[in-house]
Amino acid sequence: MAETVIDLIRHGEPVGGRRYRGHAIDDPLTEKGWSQMWNAVGDSHPWQQIISSPLQRCHAFAAALGEKYRVSVDVEQRFKEVGFGVWEGLSHDEIKVNRAGEYQRFLNDPVHHRPQDAEALDGFIHRVSTAYHEVIARYQGQHCLIVTHAGVMRAIIAQTVHADPVGLYRIKISNGGITRIRHNASHGILEFLNGKLSS
């Protein structure tokens, strides 16, 4: 089996600052957010295929990148962010202050202490992993870019290194940061996290 290389990039800073967006809140990127993403990819364009979350904070950049380098862009609905239920639209500070106990329980065990009406973490990981393995199979031997969200990237990284889902939110994913995973016949190797591509 030829090696398959997957680059994942998190969307840049969205309008509205740091808050829980999930997939119900879909703010566009700020100018800084666009710059974060363009700076991360530099002048590199090694990809045969780009796959994007349907949310505009990802898809707008994916479409612009694909147009610039004439690379096909597919939208994968299953790569949208995890649903945060009643937390969606609230800032991190609001949650920490007004829902302190709930927030601490979530941090300690995000699998069993979800925000009210939030997507189950196991279900989220399953939908992301299923889509990711389909990408690996479909684009075997190619180099692909997935434009997506911190939660999606955490789920993929955790599955790659066989990490327990309870530690998912202990993986820092930077806005515009690129993660690379190489897949051979037997397994994936996490090559780097929160990087940039050289120009």
Cα–Cα distance, 178 to 182 (Å, whole number): 13
pLDDT, tens only, 96-118: 999 999 999 999 999 999 999 99
Mode of pairing for the β-strands spanning 178-183 and 188-195 = antiparallel
Residue 125 belongs to some domain of the structure: yes
The count of domains in the chain is 1
Residue 106 belongs to some domain of the structure: no
Residue 51, strand partner residues: 74, 146
Residue 114 belongs to some domain of the structure: no
pLDDT, tens only, 157-197: 999 999 999 999 999 999 999 999 999 988 999 999 999 99
Q: What's the whole-model pTM score?
A: 0.95
* Band (1; pLDDT cuts 50, 70, 90): low
Residue 190 belongs to some domain of the structure: yes
pLDDT, mean over the chain: 95
Residue 29 belongs to some domain of the structure: yes
Residue 34 belongs to some domain of the structure: yes
Task: Tell me the longest C-alpha to C-alpha distance in the chain.
Answer: 52
Residue 42 belongs to some domain of the structure: yes
pLDDT, tens only, 59-109: 999 999 999 999 999 999 999 999 999 999 999 899 999 999 999 999 999
pLDDT at 125 over 60: yes
Residue 145 belongs to some domain of the structure: yes
CA dihedral 193, 40, 76, 117 (to 10 degrees): 60
Q: For position 185, what pLDDT does the model report?
A: 82
At 140, which CATH number?
Answer: 3.40.50.1240
Among candidate residues 81, 82, 77, 99, the one with its CA nearest the CA of residue 90: 99
Cα 129 → chain centroid: 12
Domain that holds residue 163: 4-84+120-195
